[in-house]
Amino acid sequence: MTHNRFRYVTVLLALFAVETAHGADALPFPASLDELGGSVQTCATLEHMPALASLLGAVAAGRNVLSVTAATFPPLSQGGEALALSVNGAPVAAETSQWRAYEIRREGTAGALKARTTTRMADSGAGLLLTFTVENPTDTETEAAVSLSSRMIVRLHEGTWEWAPPRPDEKAQDHRAVPDGEDAVTWADSKSPAVTAMVMTPSPRSMDADDCLHWEERLAPGGSLTVRITVAFGTDRKETLHRAHGWLNGFNDQQEAARNGWETRFKDAFTPGSGRYSGHLPLLATDDPALHRVYYGSVLSWLCMERTGLSEKYPRVFVTASPFYAPTLTYFWDTQFYGTLWALLDPAGLKEQLRLFLTADIHSCYAVDFLTLKGVGPWYSANDYALFQGLTTYMRLNDDWGFLDEIVGEKNVLGHLESLATHWKKLADNPSGMADYGTKDNLLETVPTYTNVVPSFNAANVWMMRTLAGLLRERGRGEDAARLEEEAGVLAGRVLSLCNDLHGWFSCIMPDGRRQEVRSVVDFMTVAACMTKDVPPDLCGRMMDSVDRELWTGQWLRALSIEDPSAVRSLASPKIMATWSSAWPGDSLRADHGFTGSYTAWPAQVAEAFSRWGRDARALEMLRAVSPVLDEGPFGQSHYVPAPTRPVRKAFIGGQDYFEGCGGAFAEVILRHFCRVSSRTAQVSLCSSTAP
């Protein structure tokens, strides 16, 4: 069987592709990851301080010029904040910061003195490499009394991790520093085997009862004090201390290894036969600097989620977020936003994990924890759609249609696809004839009216049934295919009945049968992707006009219109708006799905939707427009729309993380929709003009 309708033999999609369009004019592959790094940021305008990721974990910078928080090397995790620097009795706040994949740089002032720091993650184990330099820029000799609040609270946590990983109480008295010679300190956790070791040069003059380390130096005009620090995390004191000493003894080499490790991994991702991955990603041929940066910056954002130390059975996984949340989890829904990248880069690893996902009870959880391989969290309504798309994407790009016949669990993969495509019928016991997808906790969590019978995943059911019908027809099951196609057509009509023809927004059906309009981007982009040809052309235009008018802000997107009733209610309520500064904003305020910003995958998918419905030039403008978002660092979980300090800002309040797998969505959409790509070639082309 050829499966010509479903596989990508030489072409994924070629709307803008011209294989010889650029030649020598195409921008080269980034010579260094510095080209993809962020610009210098003023920390007072940042909600999210920068973070770093390695193959073993992640860590976030604190507000102090040197401090770190959320150091997470599963099953080890840090509680609170550590390594705050003070000079002459005053803590030194980070005034500026700059992110690169392998390093965070921060600067601050302490009276007349200046402090500069670098933070890197060790390439060869769970640990950190830090430096701080205190400089005297004046023409007068100055005393520098430097203190480092060194207490590091780290614990080993057995069992299953969830969205919020287990962390020790930062106020607990279970960790005490033990000096180990003049240059080293270790901490042992009394409630777990966790050990932390820190080694420094030059050695501190003293350590007080509060675990503060002290250096004193008289700095001549233009003089400076530089201290190098290594921090190792482990479970055996001798080994952990030995590792920290080894890193310090070869500090310059370790610094270079941290950088070169990242540089090599990034290049390997685009190199056929590198030996690191079972596949590779295509190079992008374009002469457009913004598109060039968006594509490679998106790939880099996604590679920040790669972990190699979580599971012996699955040696390479892509976790959903970090360092604050989900550092061991892979959400089924999130895989949808980088499925093409994964299928091209590491098809062998993807196939193994697809088998795992097929044996999970995806209707009782939203993610798999790779420490225990158990499902966690409530059911997400997107699970069927996400897994169906992951399976078909893998098979198309790798021409592995034999996978359909493999028995996984109690049935073959084709049987699983049938179950995924028709599961909605079990949820359709209501007058609408469509699936009821439950409460907001099963959907967008933060939009109180986006519940029950929602257009988006009912549209996804249309696409799944039609795709499955094609597979069945090629296997000689014509009657089953015809039945599915007929059911899909009926369901498509029901989905369209939820749309307001005047402006193109959709309504959800509440349990009492009442229709509630919700101006969410999720319906727009999912209907565009799954029912592209079902929507009348004039209605497509009105839908796009509404998105342009109410959601698109120039460089980013609102996931929910500010004119949506839920948003209007939030803006009018002092009580609701007061939660803006709390740890968990309520009622439509969260940046990923509310009106204050957007989940990172949505702008990419909106661009794809505009192109599907004929607005190719506008789609490319949208892809170009998000390039400045990378000035702050990689694409994160979500970003706010215009704020007083910047056009777009990475979100933190409301459980939004610095790294997220959806950061790969822009590269995903570029490859899936805008480029000519083959799993057997190393380069694709993207025309930077507004027409083919």
Boundary residue ending a domain (263, 295, 313): 263
What is the predicted pLDDT for the residue at 233? Answer: 98
Residue 479 is encoded by which pair of tokens? 């009657």
Residue 419 placed within a domain: yes
Q: How many domains does the chain have?
A: 2
Interior angle at CA 10, CA 8 and CA 12, nearest 5: 50
Looking at the fold, whether 213 and 111 belong to one and the same domain comes out as yes
With tokens 């399976």, the residue in question is 391
Mean pLDDT across the stretch 632-649? 85
Strand partners, 307: 317
Q: Return the pLDDT at 170.
A: 78
pTM of the model: 0.94
Domain harbouring 616, CATH code = 1.50.10.10
Handedness of CA 604, 605, 609, 611 (dihedral sign): positive
Cα distance between residue 570 and residue 564, in whole Å: 10
Taking the C-alpha atoms of residue 125 and residue 463, their distance in angstroms, rounded to an integer, is 45
250 shares its domain with 288: no
Could you tell me if 285 and 208 lie in one domain? no
Tell me the pLDDT tens digit for each residue of 489-529.
999 999 999 999 899 999 999 999 999 999 999 999 999 99
Asked if the structure places residue 298 within a domain, the reply is yes
> What integer pLDDT is reported at residue 682 of this predicted model?
60
Q: Are residues 80 and 167 in the same domain?
A: yes
Final residue in a domain of this structure, among 263, 297, 331: 263
Please tell me whether residues 344 and 220 are part of one structural domain: no
Element (H, E) at 112: none
Beta bridge partners of 232: 127, 197
User: CB–CB of 692/18 below 8 Å?
Assistant: yes
User: In this structure, is residue 314 part of a structural domain?
Assistant: yes
CB 338 within 8 A of CB 665: yes
Q: What percent of the chain has pLDDT over 70?
A: 90
Q: Which pLDDT band holds residue 689 (cuts at 50, 70, 90)?
A: very low
In this structure, the answer to whether residues 257 and 403 fall within a common structural domain is no
Which of 263, 294, 310 terminates a domain? The answer is: 263
Q: Are residues 399 and 526 in the same domain?
A: yes
Are residues 290 and 259 part of one domain?
A: no
Question: Quick one: tokens of 212?
Answer: 């503060």
Question: Do 78 and 202 have their domain in common?
Answer: yes
What pLDDT was estimated at residue 686? 60
| Cα gap 193→57, rounded to integer Å | 18
Read off the pLDDT of residues 144-197 as tens digits, 9 standing for 90 and up: 999 999 889 999 999 999 999 999 987 776 777 777 778 999 999 989 999 999
Residues 222 and 369: their CA atoms lie apart, in Å, by 52
Q: Which helix (H) or strand (E) holds 665?
A: helix 665-669
d(CA 671, CA 534): 24
Q: Does a structural domain hold residue 690?
A: no
Q: In this structure, what are the phi and psi dihedrals at residue 102, rounded to the nearest 5 degrees?
A: -105, 0
- Given a cut of 90, whether residue 643 has pLDDT beyond it is no
Determine the Cα–Cα distance for residues 3 and 11; give it in Å rounded to an integer.
Answer: 14
Is residue 196, in this structure, part of any structural domain at all?
Answer: yes
Confidence at 567, pLDDT banded by 50, 70, 90: confident
The H-or-E segment that residue 184 falls in is: strand 184-189
In this predicted structure, what is the pLDDT of residue 578?
59
Scan for tokens 């780290």, then name that residue: 154
Domain membership of residue 612 (yes or no) is: yes
Residue 110 placed within a domain: yes
Residue with tokens 């829904």: 333
Q: Are residues 336 and 374 in the same domain?
A: yes
Pair (274, 236) in one structural domain: no
Assign residue 178 the CATH number of its domain: 2.70.98.40
Phi-psi region of 273 (alpha: psi -120 to 50; beta: other; left: phi over 0): left
The closest of 544, 547, 673, 549 to 613, measured between CA atoms, is: 544
pLDDT tens string 56-105:
999 999 999 999 999 999 999 999 999 999 999 999 999 999 999 999 99
Q: Is residue 397 one of the residues assigned to a domain?
A: yes
Q: How far is CA 524 from the centre of its chain?
A: 22
Residue 298, Ramachandran bin (φ over 0: left; ψ between -120 and 50: alpha; else beta): alpha
8 A C-beta contact, residue 226 and residue 133: yes
What residue type is 377 in one-letter code? G
> Is there a cis peptide before residue 202, judged by omega within 30 degrees of 0?
yes
Q: Which domain holds residue 647?
A: 269-685
Confidence band, pLDDT 50/70/90 cuts, at residue 569: confident
583 pLDDT above the threshold of 50: no
Structure token digits, residue 666: 């822009």
pLDDT tops 70 at residue 690: no
Residue 588: is it exposed, middle or buried by C-beta count within 10 angstroms (0-12/13-18/19+)?
buried
Q: pLDDT of 529-540, one tens digit each?
A: 999 999 999 999
- The answer to whether 304 and 101 are in contact (CB under 8 A) is yes
293 with 156, same domain: the answer is no
How does pLDDT run across 12-61, given as a tens digit for each residue?
A: 333 333 232 334 578 999 999 999 999 999 999 999 999 999 999 999 99
CA distance 309 to 447: 36
